[in-house]
Amino acid sequence: MTQSQRETERKYEAPPADDTSWLAELTGVAGIASVVDQGTEELDALYYDTEDLRLAGASATLRRRTGGPDAGWHLKLPLAGDSREEVRAPLSDSVPDSLRALALSRTRDADLTPVVRIRSTRRTHQLVDDHGTVLAEVTVDGVRADSLGAATTRAAWSEMEVELAEGADPALLDAVDKTLRKNGIERAAHPSKLGRALAETGVGAPRLPDARAESVVAGSAGDEILTYLDEQVRTLVDLDPAVRRDVPDSVHRMRVACRRMRSTLRTYRSVLDREVTDPIRADLKWLGGELGAERDQEVLMQRLETRLAVAPRELVLGPVAARLKAWNVAESATAHQRSLDALHTPRYLALLSSLAELTERPPLRRKAARKPKKVLAKAVLEEYDRLAARVAHVLELPPGTERDRALHQARKAAKKTRYATEPGRASLGKPVKRLGKRVKAVQKVLGDHQDSVVARDALRRLALAAHAAGEGGFTWGLLYGQEQAVAAQRERELPQVWAEASERGPRRKLGG
């Protein structure tokens, strides 16, 4: 069983041991009424990582710690700013399977072994308000680190942390920081104990995820595309633990990262060799499809619930809400399990390795070394032309099934065009941003139309199930009719939205 909490902290160089005057100066800062000494404790931790330090390279840590009130296994995953998520599991002799799975996107199933032992003598002070509520904790650690290789290397230092209490105002950290700096206490050079221990014991430094291969020319088209791909790979890796723990919106965001990478690898084949990237695209398509069932169910249920909630009460006949809820529970459970199953497959592990290889040793083509403006603009305009052809085809068709399919294909083309604009925003500037914004408006209209098509199919199946159970179908028919009306309205809106998106200005500035 695991538990999770968010921790927000800042690390500092430790003040001189014989100087505690700075503690008294914290009283009165940002609502701190008193500083309460909690005494000293001994902590002993073994830090685990892969042989090439993949966790440390991804700003994550895994440790088995004894001593203190939170003894056990701790997996720390990076969040924005000064925050991290700490997932805990009870003490055991080996790495818990639950934490091993949550670290999988970073380790890529490489063996986890102890790399360094860190022991700390910790003195803790609580920063308390006038109601006795703990706002933060200040800890000063005397640290001893030992490497765990064939020969032991030792290092020792002192450091200080200020950790925000759960629910406390993050602005407190800024106020405390200001006071500490006035007292000559500076931020630590290393972001974590592990990072400093690895460096000072000679274990080694991990490869950072934004390190660039020597073959990549700074400021080139290849550099811009790889920077964008790096961001999407990190997003996928970071979201893996959230998907496994069913965190809201995590499946959607992971699926979008897959789509962005697929689209980028397709659009910029003049920059990256497709013999290498086409298999990666195929695996990304597979993963997006496995995640898609869960995300599509989320979107569909939200849509149908909204429709039902605003329907006049007198027109909701029979156990419509109960049937909708039961249907969603069954469909969601199946879809979520499908997502989890995908994350445990050898194909997914192979994809993670392929993505790491792609960003570390990119298969660059000749155009990758060129300046980005011309290379990226040409690719964006080619995607736009494909979208224009799709929309033109749609507008020639009469309403019906064939047009619905064509609208769906146009929607996918709109997404590809919008994603194509994203890597080039730094070099192409406002014109590509404007084009992306206008294409997004087209995508929104087409997306709502497609969601209506999917909703009508689900409503028909729900109505058939209700009929088989002897329930009335009036309300299901009502909702179906509303979705028909929405689809018709979006089809009427499309010509105007497309006229605005296809206005020549942004494309002319891109060279089109």
Segment 367-410, tens digit of pLDDT: 999 999 999 999 999 999 999 999 999 999 999 999 999 999 99
| Domain end position, chosen among 321, 345, 370 | 370
Assigned domain for 440 exists: yes
- pLDDT for 202 equals 84
Instruction: Say whether both 22 and 171 belong to one domain.
Output: yes
Say how far apart CA 377 and CA 249 lie, in whole Å: 32
- pLDDT for 4 equals 83
Say how far apart CA 78 and CA 347 lie, in whole Å: 26
Instruction: Say whether both 61 and 182 belong to one domain.
Output: yes
> How many distinct structural domains can be found in the chain?
3
- pLDDT for 208 equals 62
Say how far apart CA 299 and CA 26 lie, in whole Å: 49
The CATH number linked to 56 is 2.40.320.10
pLDDT digits (tens, 9 = 90+) for 140-165: 999 999 998 777 899 999 999 999 99
Assigned domain for 210 exists: no
Instruction: Say whether both 141 and 232 belong to one domain.
Output: no
- pLDDT for 272 equals 96
- pLDDT for 16 equals 85
- pLDDT for 326 equals 96
Assigned domain for 325 exists: no
Helix (H, G, I), strand (E, B) or coil at 192: coil
Quick one: DSSP state of residue 422?
S
| Domain end position, chosen among 370, 402, 427 | 370
Contact call for residues 267 and 419 (beta carbons, < 8 A): yes
Assigned domain for 324 exists: no
- pLDDT for 213 equals 61
pLDDT digits (tens, 9 = 90+) for 289-340: 999 999 999 999 999 999 999 999 999 999 999 999 999 999 999 999 999 9
Q: Domain range spanning residue 463?
A: 372-512
Residue 15 tokens read as: 């003040």
| Domain end position, chosen among 338, 370, 402 | 370
Residues of the chain with pLDDT under 70: 1, 207-214, 512
Say how far apart CA 55 and CA 107 lie, in whole Å: 6
Residue 81 tokens read as: 């700013």
Rounded alpha-carbon distances, angstroms, from residue 464 to 304, 327, 457, 470, 474: 16, 13, 11, 10, 12
- pLDDT for 459 equals 97
Say how far apart CA 280 and CA 274 lie, in whole Å: 9
